[in-house]
Each structure stands twice: as C-alpha cells, then as structure tokens.
Amino acid sequence: MTELAYLATVRESYDTVAVDYAKLVPPAFEDDLYGRAMISAFAELTQVVDAGPVADLGCGPGHVTAHLHSFGVTAFGIDLSPETVAVARRTHPDLQFDEGSMTDLDLADGTLGGIVAWYSTVHTPPELLPVVFAEFHRVLAPGGHLLIAFKAGDKHRHLENAYGHELSLDVYWMSPDRIAGLLSQSGLVVDARLIREPTETEKPRQGQQAYLLARKPGKPVGDLEARA
Ligand SMILES: C[S@@+](CC[C@H](N)C(=O)[O-])C[C@H]1O[C@@H](n2cnc3c(N)ncnc32)[C@H](O)[C@@H]1O
C-alpha cells in the first residue's frame, strides 16, 4: 500500500520533538485522574476477556504502555516516528516498542486483546479516520477492547512550532458523537464515554477531553464460562 501523504509530515514532526515531548509527559497521569481511571477500566476489561496482548498505537514515549504493564497487562507500543520509538525503548528497556502506522498495521487479523489510541488519532485527517478504525477492527480479536482518548470539539489547527521546535503538524478536535459514529460504522460497539472539563493547568488552551471505550463484538476465545 502506498503511504498516505500526511504520515510523512507527522513522522518528521515527532522525530523533531521526540526528546522534548517526552520531558513534558506528567508522571502517572497526575493531572488527568479521569483518564487514568479509564486506563484502569480498560486494563481490567482486557484482563477479564484475555483475548491477546494490548497494542498502544501511537505510543509516544511509552508511558501508557508502561502504565498498562504495571497492572500486569501484556502490552507493547507502536509509533510512526523512529525517534519517538527510540525514546520509548531507552525509557522502558524492558518493554517492546516497534515502528509502524495505525493506518496499515503489520499485525495479523484478530490477534489483539486490546488497543489504546491515546491522543494518537488527533493528527489523522477526519476523512481518513475510517481507514484507521477499519484497521482497529481488523486486528482486534472478537471481544477485544479499544480505548481512545482525544480532544473533544470541532476544530482544526495547523502548528508550525511546538515543544520549542519548528514543525508542520495538523491537530483535529472531534466531537465524541462523531468519533462514536465512525467507530460504529467500522463495526465496533461503543460501550462507554467519559467527557471531562479541562483542568486548571490545561485552561485556557485546551477544552474538553474525551475517552471512549469500544469493543469488537463476538465471543472471546478463552471467555469466563470456558475457563470456569
Ligand atoms: C500527541 S502524541 C501522543 C503520544 C502518546 N500516546 C501520549 O499520550 O503521550 C501522538 C503520537 O501518535 C503518533 N502517531 C500519529 N499518527 C500515527 C500513525 N498513523 N501511526 C502510529 N503512530 C502515529 C505520533 O508519532 C505521536 O507519537
């Protein structure tokens, strides 16, 4: 498959900011307790279903992968940016991080027990989100769960600098209804939504933040009844 054009600029931008982005990640989600709660719920769901490993897609420096690992979840990270993957590997040498794109994953059908996309779809042009969500549906095992975090709203900004560097990066705010609709169209079932207000430190630049839990329908292999 020919690479989608926007991926090159996203990759180059995150290669440029990889080290400085990682320095700004707050430890243990200390300013995002609601987000942290959704990760805990997701970890528990994937452990109950036990349908395969969890991929943290667009993992950045790997802090969500590591947080999942701390719950005993078998998790690995994938990111588009080689420099970002290098930072994740240096920061968490005991965990697996690979280069790849969520638009065209090098993973077999139905092999993941869970997917986290933590603010990693925010650079995908909205018209290409169906491509990404179709990949999520393809690689999830029946019963596997998705947790997606994103900036709630309806706007687009083009950044020419961030984290102290010049770059070229588009950021999209999306309404939770629109994301939920696209997930449903891809065949996923949306089970839960959390929309929170910006914290004091996020104001006035950030608005509401959204977290959606969705699931690929079907009976998980190794479900609770079978294991009882
Ligand atoms: C805003 S950062 C979020 C990183 C991390 N999940 C976090 O919460 O800090 C977006 C990340 O998604 C990655 N990304 C964007 N598009 C991607 C794609 N198509 N496939 C894989 N990673 C992608 C970027 O390289 C970047 O590391």
> Ligand 1: residues within 6 Å at CB?
7, 10, 14, 25, 57-60, 64, 78-81, 84, 101-103, 118-120, 122-123
Please give the mean pLDDT across all residues of the chain: 94
In this structure, which residue's CA is closest to atom 2 in ligand 1? Answer: 120
In this structure, which residue's CA is closest to atom 9 in ligand 1? Answer: 60
Taking only the tens place, the pLDDT of each residue in 160-204 is 999 999 999 999 999 999 999 999 999 999 999 999 999 888 887
Give start and end residues of each alpha helix (H) in the chain. 6-23, 33-49, 63-70, 82-91, 129-139, 176-185, 224-227
* Residue/partner pairs of 62-67 with CB below 8 Å, 24 or more apart: 62/87, 62/88, 62/89, 62/91, 62/92, 62/95, 62/97, 63/25, 64/39, 64/116, 64/118, 65/92, 65/95, 65/97, 66/91, 66/92, 66/95, 67/28, 67/29, 67/36, 67/39
Ligand 1 midpoint to CA 54 (Å): 16
pLDDT at 227: 45
What domains does the chain contain, in order, with CATH numbers?
6-227 (3.40.50.150)
91: CB partners within 8 A, 6+ apart: 22, 61, 62, 66
224 has pLDDT over 60? no
